[in-house]
Amino acid sequence: MHHLIVTACRVQPERMKEFFGHIQQWEHELEKASHGPEYHSLYVNEADPSRVLLLTRFESARHAEEFEATGLLDGFTDRILSCSAGEVDQVAYDLYYAVGPGGPRVVFGEESGAMP
């Protein structure tokens, strides 16, 4: 079952360049990491670009735990915190339900079809 780590923060405007440097460094580290995430994305709020949301998706909670054991996630969170105004909110979720044009693909965490 897919596992998602959601990280939300507000970046200090004067540290945006540094923040995006940390994001690029993180992406290079992910390319080399064993047990790395399946997918990683960054969302920036158009109305307030200091508000950002990072989504890091793993194949399973077990893969996420193996990756977290490398220390890369903690190091990344620390670097993000250094650029943030206030606290970084980081929460993990396991996929419970997913639906697409062909109907439900995951119900109660059990895959019933291909994931989009």
* Model pLDDT for residues 80-89, shown as the tens digit of each residue: 889 999 888 9
In DSSP notation, 9-44 reads EEB-GGGHHHHHHHHHHHHHHHHH-TT--SEEEEEE
* Model pLDDT for residues 7-64, shown as the tens digit of each residue: 999 999 999 999 999 999 988 888 888 888 998 999 999 999 999 999 999 999 999 9
Nearest to 75 by CA among 2, 25, 18, 4: 25
* Model pLDDT for residues 51-78, shown as the tens digit of each residue: 999 999 999 999 999 999 989 888 888 8
Q: Domain coordinates of the chain in residue numbers? A: 3-111
Q: Is the pTM of this model over 0.75?
A: yes
Assess if CATH 3.40.50.2300 describes domain 3-111.
no
The pLDDT of residue 99 is above 90 = no
| Contacting residues for 6 by C-beta, under 8 A, at least 6 apart | 53, 54, 55, 89, 90, 91, 92, 93
